[in-house]
Structure 1
Amino acid sequence: MSVRGIRGAITVDVNEPQPILKATIELLNSIVKENEIVPEDICSVMITVTGDLDATFPASAIRQMGGWELVPLMCALEVPVKGSLERCIRFMLHVNTGKTQAEINHVYLGGAQVLRPDLSKT
C-alpha cells in the first residue's frame, strides 16, 4: 500500500458561507466516489482557497460529515498569482491506497476545469 495524492478543485460564484460549504462537499463527494475511498483511508486533506473566499472555512463543512471527524484537515490561502482563477477551492487528499498513480482520478469541477482540462470530468 502506498500514500497517493489526489487533487481536485471547484469554483463558487459568490463569497458567501453556504455556496462555499456546498461546493466543498460537492468536490469531496466527487473525489471519494471517483476514487472509491472511505475516510479511514485518508491520511490528511489540505484545502486552499483564493484570497477572495474569506466568508467561511471550507473544512467546517467536512467536519459535519459522518465519519470525517478524525480526518486531519488544514485550510490555507492559495498563492495569489496575478490573473489566476478566482473564487477557487482546491484540495489535496493524501490517501492510503493500493492503486497506482495512473489509477488515481483527480477531479476538477465547474470553472476549475480550466486548471487541468486534461484531467477534468465532463
Structure 2
Amino acid sequence: VAGLGAAPKMSIYSASKHAVIGLTKSAAIEYAKKGIRVNAVCPAVIDTDMFRRAYQADPRKAEFAAAMHPVGRVGKVEEIASAVLYLCSDGAAFTTGHCLTVDGGATAI
C-alpha cells in the first residue's frame, strides 16, 4: 500500500510502488483494445517468511504491524491469492487498470 499514499522514511520504496501503479494504469489503457487486462494487487503487511524473519527478533514490531491494520492482524498469503484469482477470473472481465487494495483497512484510516 506504500504506492497509495505516503510512506515516511521510505521515500524510495514508496516511489517505486507509485511507479507500479502508474505502469499498471498506463499498460491497461495501452492493451485494453487487445483484450488484455492489467491490474495490480496492493497488499499491506502479509504474514510471509520475509515478515517472520524481519519481526521474529522483536515481537513488539510484529504487534505494531498488526495494530496498523484496523482488522487487528496482518494479512494471510491466501487472502492475497484470492484477490489475484478474482482479478484473473471471468468475474473481473470488465476490470482493467485497477489497483485492488487488500490491506485490512489500513488505507481507510
Shorter-chain TM-score: which interval? under 0.3
Tell which structure's C-alpha radius of gyration is larger. 2
| Bigger fraction of residues in helix | 2
Greater RCO between the two (CA within 8 Å, min separation 6)? 1
TM-score with structure 1 setting the length: 0.24
